[in-house]
Structure 1
Amino acid sequence: MEATGKSDRTEPNGPTCLWENPVTARTVRVAFATTHRQGLSAIYPSPGPDEGWVWRVWRELTVGGYPAVATTQDPQWYCTVTVGLADDAAVGVSLVGRVGDTHDVCAATGPVAELVVAMLKKGAGR
């Protein structure tokens, strides 16, 4: 897949990288949550019914040996897999497609998150 990438260090939650494929109109976004320092717990819903997000899809999974959660409001369009790398660190991998591309974008986002975590481990010498 031919794609162009760019980084954005102005995102409020931390550095973000974005790869867009102009031919397929699909996007991969990798966001490093470095400012809130809550790790994976930052995405868990608040206990009150009017607080936090209510996700249409919420799947707990493991990515590269780390706990993760796949979330979305619209599984036919986008999905984010947030991986808890430590109690105070997380990376979010989002896959954005075209409406109607597939019935479950989250099924494709998990393998992309696996690749991201593998590259992070390799970069860290693990």
Structure 2
Amino acid sequence: MSNTLTLTLRLIAATLGAYAMAVASSLAMVPLFIKLLNSLLADAVYAATMWSYVVFFAVFICAFSVSSIRRLYLGLLVSGALCLAIHFAFVSESANSSTTGSSNTGKKAESVHTPTKKIVQLTHAKAGK
């Protein structure tokens, strides 16, 4: 593989891949902070945003220090999939617990279609609102 192509692929991984990993890690950290550390939504979002900066720069540096392009992109894919799996595991777990714990009054349980709405509902339920 030519040096120009290698450098271009590393640059793409360093910019777009680092951004994607920062977003995925932020999505994974918000439910973890809420569920495991009992933090409020605002605090969880703030901490996850700060964490995403660390992840972005770590991926940016690793994009140029990993020995092979294949290992670089495989690491990005596996890490991103793991972060998204963590996010959706906590969001779906919360959705299942809220629908099974509701009383049957003849109305169907209102389904939540976005993870953000579910996180807000978790925070309100935790705060006792």
TM-score norm. by structure 2 comes to 0.28
Please identify which structure carries the higher strand content: 1
Larger C-alpha radius of gyration, 1 or 2? 2
Give the structure, 1 or 2, with the largest relative contact order (CA under 8 Å, sep 6 or more). 2
